[in-house]
Structure 1
Amino acid sequence: MTETPLVRTVTQVGIVVRDIDRALAEYTHKLGIGPWRVYTYAPPRLTGMRIRGVDTPYSMKLALAWTGDMMWELIQPLDGPSIYQEFLRDHGEGIHHAMVDCGARTLAEVKAEFAARGWPALMEGNFLGSQYAYFETEGSLTTTIEVRWSAPGWQRPEPDYWYPAPAEA
Structure 2
Amino acid sequence: MSGLLGNHFITQIGILVNDIEKTSKAYSEFFGVPQPEAFLTDTLDKAQTEYNGEPSVARAKLAFFDMGSLQLELIEPDEHPSTWRNYLNEHGEGPHHIAFVIEGMKEKIELLDRKGFSLQQKGEYEGGRYAYIDTFKDLKVLVELLENDKK
TM-score (normalizing by structure 1): 0.81
CA contact (8 A) 1:37 1:65 kept: no
1:87 aligns to what SS in structure 2? Answer: helix
2:62 aligns with: 62
1:9-158 alignment, distance < 5 Å: 9-43=9-43, 46-102=46-102, 105-153=103-151
Q: CA deviation at 1:38?
A: 2.5
Q: For the aligned residues, what is the CA RMSD?
A: 1.8
1:36 aligns to what SS in structure 2? Answer: coil
CA contact (8 A) 1:34 1:66 kept: no
Question: Which ranges of structure 2 fall in alignment gaps of 5 or more residues?
Answer: none
CA contact (8 A) 2:129 2:148 kept: yes
Taking only the aligned residue pairs, the percentage that are identical comes to 26
> CA-to-partner distance for each residue in 1:60-114, whole Å, 9 max, x for gaps?
0000111111001000002421111111111110011000133xx2111211121
Question: Which ranges of structure 1 fall in alignment gaps of 5 or more residues?
Answer: 154-169
Q: CA deviation at 1:46?
A: 3.8
Instruction: Return 57-66 or 32-41, whichever deviates more.
Output: 32-41
1:9 aligns to what SS in structure 2? Answer: coil
2:18 aligns to what SS in structure 1? Answer: coil
CA contact (8 A) 1:42 1:58 kept: no
Distance (whole Å) between structure 1 residues aligned to residue 12 and residue 34 of structure 2:
14
2:72 aligns to what SS in structure 1? Answer: strand
Q: CA deviation at 1:24?
A: 0.7
CA contact (8 A) 1:83 1:123 kept: yes
Distance (whole Å) between structure 1 residues aligned to residue 30 and residue 127 of structure 2:
34
TM-score (normalizing by structure 2): 0.89
Structure whose residues are more often helix by fraction: 2
Distance (whole Å) between structure 2 residues aligned to residue 100 and residue 15 of structure 1:
15
Indicate the structure (1 or 2) with the bigger Cα radius of gyration: 1
CA contact (8 A) 2:10 2:98 kept: yes
Distance (whole Å) between structure 1 residues aligned to residue 23 and residue 150 of structure 2:
32
Distance (whole Å) between structure 2 residues aligned to residue 97 and residue 148 of structure 1:
12
Distance (whole Å) between structure 1 residues aligned to residue 16 and residue 116 of structure 2:
25
| Aligned residue identity for 2:107 | E
Structure whose residues are more often strand by fraction: 1
2:89 aligns to what SS in structure 1? Answer: helix
